[in-house]
Structure 1
Amino acid sequence: MKKILFATLLFASAVQAEITLDQLQVPEGFELSYFAEDVETARQLARSESGTVFSGSFRAKKVYALRDTDNDGAADKRWVLMENLKAPTGIAFKDGDLYVADVDKIIRFPQIERNLDQPKSEVVYDQFPTDRHHGWKFLRFDREGQLIVPVGAPCNICDANENYSKIFSLDLSSKKTKIIANGVRNSVGFDFHPQTNELWFTDNGRDMMGDDIPPCEINKVSFWGEHFGYPYFHGDDIADPEFGLGKNAADYSKPVLNLGAHVAPLGIHFYRGEQYPKDYRHNLLVAEHGSWNRSEKSGYRVMLATVENSEITKYEPLITGFMQEETTYGRPVAFLEMPDGSVLISDDFAHKIYRLSYTGI
């Protein structure tokens, strides 16, 4: 409990420094702009077919709707659809309905765009654990219409019961869940490979093992029910000092890529568009949210992972400058690809949603 309180106080006491677009570095030919500002603790993003962008939030406890009515690449109209939730971080849009994941439930806003001024909502599932520790979520529908929902560990490190440390598939009609992945400490981002349909996801490594171990991870699911090691092993074969005794690392799946310790990867997205150069297509954007518990900060950047034959062959910075000289200016969270091929990126520290477009060299 003391560790949780310390983390909360440290996060809350961070000095807020105003971010500017000039301080963010992108590759030549790319351009950053603001799609929306003052979107408190913006998290996952979703979009309707007609162009309304929705944003979940973390500490703001709100759900937003945003519209760019004059097509200039920036939202000029907004609504707050709901507030005073616990942590409505995860959202998804399907068949005219908006789905929002609070800590213990899934809320549906039926035909939301007809009701933006007076939104109606209903709870469609309420059987997830109520623990706030790693209780915030990320949502995505798969090709079969099943809602994919992670449930993190209710702790830094523990061997919890069957309701935790997993990624589930939820059938909203039958209210039944199936386990897609086991041994997942805290995933707050995933995407399906556009060609193979493999589910790739991030996982945040445990704390209190030092500055440099264990790694955070990018993983992919090869078969349903696959186990990725938590709480027994971290990374490839780092045995947990509390729970690894008597376990065999070969019994658990290894990451596709071990990241830096504490970089806190959240959203990931396979680029599908044609606006960016050809070598970006079907490669992976990764939001490293950034460390809170390291003597020198790490993460605080957007990365590009080159994916070949279901393996990551290169991992390099795409956007940097969110943290400078140990001062935090922003923390990237999640991605939303737009129809024109530009990508929106949420930032829950600077309360911004950026638009990354390619204008050519």
Structure 2
Amino acid sequence: MNRPQLLAIAATAIWLAGCGSDPAPTQYGPNPDLPHPSRGLLPSMTIAKPEGWGDRRPTVPAGYQVTAIATDLKIPRQTLVLPNGDILVAEGKGGGDATVKRPKDMIAGYLKKKGTSSVKGGDRLTLLRDSDGDGVYDGRTVFAENLNAPYGLALVGNELYVANQDALVRFDYRPGQTRRSGPPVVVAKLPAEINHHWTKALAASADGRTLFVGIGSNSNIGERGMAVEEERAMVWRVDARTGAHRRYATGLRNPTALAIQPGSNQLWAVVNERDELGPNLVPDYLTSVRQGAFYGWPYAYWGPNPDRRVRPFKEDMVGQAVRPDYSLQSHTAPLGLAFSAPAMGGPFADGVFIGLHGSWNREKPVGYKVIFVPFRGGRPSGAPVDFVTGFQADGKTFGRPVGVTVDPRGALIVADDLSNTIWRVTPTSARAAEPAVASR
């Protein structure tokens, strides 16, 4: 298909996306409304035009301030606050050589690309340093380069782990170090063929002996055949010493961020669910990850709701599907997850921050913000709260949140992979304002 034909098809798709509307069911929390599936030739598609921030800044609640601490990066994805306060930034843009088999995939790919940064991924780790503790990160060095779309980061003692799109690797690390001291050591190879979902999320157990790796599916709903999904759509449990792995939990279509809950040492994840069942299916979600559990993909969603598009269909798998803990609304694309700390202020001291990268397949976009989900007794409790907003307005997109990291000294670090910026949000007073419930 030549470019004029593609543009004509894309124009038609955009016109079709303007037809109809997206009703807004209640889709936050443990019991989301699940409408009947709606399938058509093309989903609604709205990609807001990228625009520079200029003099604008994201919006944060009263009692907080936001500052850009690094700009002109090369697709920042996830961050890691080191013990001395330095911040590591994983920069990269991955993906494999997946053959486009359906015209709708070509159209969707064309439109989605229009809503992303044109900058080439850095394939590197950049270190940011605030040399005098004044909140200005005046030091910036390349810690490691020539990586392969790095994404997940974890520090265990003096060992820094990086999840590239094709391998989990390790660097030696000394406090205060600004550049790697040697080449990376491969801990375990990771599935990398096709790499439809290329990001590899990473978290380390409290004792540092186990590494959890989130690996996304190679398709939306198995349309490439289930053979290419071997060892995908799951969380691996990797022995940090030997690299030996086993399946920890399965049926997670695209677990894009992992975090260990302080105190309980429970693993949590945010997951991007399937598309092409309508603007309000299927809800992306936050969930505790139970060892041995099956979360439904591709045969079921949100517990035992069957999705019979996959062939061959396995009826017996539907009843085995575990219901996730907390819905984040359909197509919000959560890519960041971090447990809070008391220094973030009373209203935001107990819960999780989640970076919502934002939708592409709805008439009215959703996501494009950082939310806070409050916890009580170690579980999500109550409605989500908007924490960092203003990434999108008037049909324009200024930024797209990805990774979020809490600095225990009292700051939320947000990676923005559209404007290639790292934002830092801090309390301005000892007592932060009461939060407002997230807009739907």
**Which amino acid is 1:151 matched to?**
I
Structure-2 residue corresponding to 1:339: 408
> 3-state DSSP class of the match of 1:178?
strand
Please state if 1:150 is matched with 2:214.
yes
Task: Provide Cα deviations, 1:281-321, integer angstroms capped at 9, x if missing partner.
Answer: 22111111101222322110111112224243221211211
Structure-1 residue corresponding to 2:133: 71
User: How many angstroms does 1:115 deviate by?
Assistant: 5.7
Structure-2 residue corresponding to 1:191: 259
**Which amino acid is 1:17 matched to?**
E
**Which amino acid is 2:207 matched to?**
E
**Which amino acid is 2:288 matched to?**
K
Gaps of 5+ in 2: 1-5, 15-44, 94-120, 434-440
1:102 counterpart (164, 170, 175): 164
1:209/1:80 CA distance change after superposition, 3 Å: same
User: How many angstroms does 1:196 deviate by?
Assistant: 2.5
1:219 counterpart (287, 312, 318): 287
The question of whether the paired residues in 1 share the 8 Å contact of 2:125 and 2:142 is answered with yes
User: How many angstroms does 1:248 deviate by?
Assistant: 6.0
**Which amino acid is 1:56 matched to?**
A
Per mean C-alpha deviation after superposition, the further-off stretch among 114-123 and 181-190 is 114-123
Please state if 1:34 is matched with 2:97.
no
* Distance of 1:329 and 1:50 partners within structure 2: 31
Q: Once superposed, which parts of structure 1, at least 4 consecutive aligned residues long, lie more than 6 Å away? A: none
Structure-2 residue corresponding to 1:290: 358
The question of whether the paired residues in 2 share the 8 Å contact of 1:269 and 1:285 is answered with yes
Identity of aligned residues (%): 29
Structure of larger gyration radius: 2
Please state if 1:323 is matched with 2:411.
no
1:203/1:339 CA distance change after superposition, 3 Å: closer
The question of whether the paired residues in 2 share the 8 Å contact of 1:216 and 1:263 is answered with yes
User: How many angstroms does 1:119 deviate by?
Assistant: 4.1
Per mean C-alpha deviation after superposition, the further-off stretch among 350-359 and 84-93 is 84-93
**Which amino acid is 2:261 matched to?**
H
> 3-state DSSP class of the match of 2:409?
coil
> 3-state DSSP class of the match of 1:163?
coil
Structure-1 residue corresponding to 2:338: 269
The question of whether the paired residues in 1 share the 8 Å contact of 2:339 and 2:406 is answered with no
Please state if 1:308 is matched with 2:376.
yes
1:347/1:17 CA distance change after superposition, 3 Å: same
User: How many angstroms does 1:128 deviate by?
Assistant: 1.3
Per mean C-alpha deviation after superposition, the further-off stretch among 349-358 and 190-199 is 190-199
Gaps of 5+ in 1: none
**Which amino acid is 1:32 matched to?**
V
The question of whether the paired residues in 1 share the 8 Å contact of 2:268 and 2:286 is answered with yes
1:114/1:322 CA distance change after superposition, 3 Å: closer
* Distance of 1:187 and 1:74 partners within structure 2: 33
Structural RMSD (CA): 2.6
Structure-2 residue corresponding to 1:91: 153
Count the aligned residue pairs. 352
* Distance of 1:248 and 1:171 partners within structure 2: 28
The question of whether the paired residues in 2 share the 8 Å contact of 1:284 and 1:307 is answered with yes
User: How many angstroms does 1:114 deviate by?
Assistant: 6.8
The question of whether the paired residues in 2 share the 8 Å contact of 1:81 and 1:119 is answered with no
* Distance of 1:268 and 1:152 partners within structure 2: 16
Task: Provide Cα deviations, 1:206-263, integer angstroms capped at 9, x if missing partner.
Answer: 1222222111111112x31111111111224432131366246442111111222111
